[in-house]
């Protein structure tokens, strides 16, 4: 399936152009708790800073596009990160946010980094916090938004079958308009996991999409 021309760009942050950031007043972190596998106060993501660059006329992220990107990012968080500790497995809809070009990596070699599938079902109290989601968008020569990156960090602490675990995740999801549907066309994820009964901290990095250098899980 041919990719639209703008989708050849892999990052919204590497192209110098005209634009101005928008700052939104939101809490520094959003907090939720899970108790015995049940969500107590949903961990709901919110948009933070928005920065739009353009190769042509001034570009703007519409409220509908911003909402769509936030909703897709929330779906990824719920299905890939929270579902495994809440219900013991990644939600079946996890792969739906990725386009056909990066889906094989997301469902294959990078699944261990993109999800908490290997963490296991939580036992007892779990804490999860997330930063506001930063939006970086890139307009094309006509001022139309071609790429949009959603970036956030989160911390997860839980008691699991493997012991008490602390997880720090930094995630960037880059969305592109794939024939009328905005899907993740590139991603970069860094995950640091620390088990209480082990001295070492493991760090996993995964990336996929044009210009990202391929899978690095």
User: Consecutive sets of 10 residues in the chain, 217 residues long: mean pLDDT of each?
Assistant: 43 45 50 50 89 93 96 96 91 94 96 91 86 96 95 92 89 95 97 85 90 38
pLDDT score recorded for residue 11: 47
Total domain count, the chain: 1
The enclosing domain of 156 has a CATH number of 3.10.450
pLDDT score recorded for residue 42: 75
pLDDT score recorded for residue 7: 36
Give a yes or no: residue 109 inside a domain: yes
pLDDT score recorded for residue 34: 52
Give a yes or no: residue 215 inside a domain: no
CB 57 within 8 A of CB 143: yes
Domain that holds residue 173: 29-38+45-208
Query: CA nearest 152: which of 26, 29, 66, 14?
Result: 29
The pTM (predicted TM-score) of the whole model is 0.81
Tell me the C-alpha distance between 145 and 60, whole Å.
Answer: 7
CA 101, chain centre distance (Å): 17
Query: CA nearest 194: which of 217, 149, 160?
Result: 160
pLDDT score recorded for residue 14: 41
Tell me the C-alpha distance between 183 and 146, whole Å.
Answer: 12
Give a yes or no: residue 16 inside a domain: no
Tell me the C-alpha distance between 96 and 52, whole Å.
Answer: 26
pLDDT score recorded for residue 212: 45
CB 154 within 8 A of CB 169: yes
DSSP the chain: -PPPGGGG---SSS---B--EE-----S-EEEEEETTEEES-----EEEEEEEESSS-----HHHHHHHHHHHHHHIIIIIIHHHHHSS--TTGGGGB-TTTHHHHHTTTHHHHS-TTT----SEEEEEEPPEEEEEEE-TTS-EEEEEEEEEEEEEEEETTEEEEEEEEEEEEEEEETTEEEEEEEEEEEEEEETT-S-EEEEEEEESTTTTS---
Give a yes or no: residue 72 inside a domain: yes
CA 9, chain centre distance (Å): 18
Give a yes or no: residue 163 inside a domain: yes
Give me the residues paired with residue 173 across strands.
Answer: 150, 187
Give a yes or no: residue 214 inside a domain: no
pLDDT score recorded for residue 32: 58
Give a yes or no: residue 4 inside a domain: no
Tell me the C-alpha distance between 69 and 92, whole Å.
Answer: 20
Give a yes or no: residue 171 inside a domain: yes
């Amino acid at each position: 399936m041919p990719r639209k021309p703008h989708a050849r760009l892999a990052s919204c942050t590497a192209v110098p152009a005209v634009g101005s950031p928008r700052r939104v007043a939101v809490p520094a972190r959003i907090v939720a708790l899970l108790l015995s596998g049940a969500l107590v106060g949903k961990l709901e993501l919110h948009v933070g800073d928005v920065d739009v660059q353009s190769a042509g006329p001034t570009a703007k992220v519409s409220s509908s596009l911003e909402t769509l990107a936030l909703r897709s990012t929330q779906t990824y968080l719920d299905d890939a990160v929270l579902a495994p500790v809440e219900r013991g497995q990644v939600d079946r809809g996890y792969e739906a946010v990725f386009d056909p070009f990066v889906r094989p990596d997301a469902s294959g070699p990078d699944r261990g980094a993109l999800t908490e599938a290997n963490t296991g079902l939580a036992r007892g109290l779990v804490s999860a916090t997330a930063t506001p989601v930063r939006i970086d968008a890139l307009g094309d020569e006509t001022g139309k938004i071609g790429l949009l990156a959603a970036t956030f960090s989160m911390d997860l602490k839980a008691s699991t079958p493997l012991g008490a675990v602390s997880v720090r995740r930094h995630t960037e999801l880059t969305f592109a308009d794939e024939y009328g549907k905005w899907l993740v066309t590139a991603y970069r994820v860094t995950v640091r996991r620390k088990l209480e009964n082990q001295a070492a901290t493991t760090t996993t990095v995964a990336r996929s999409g044009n210009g990202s250098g391929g899978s690095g899980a």
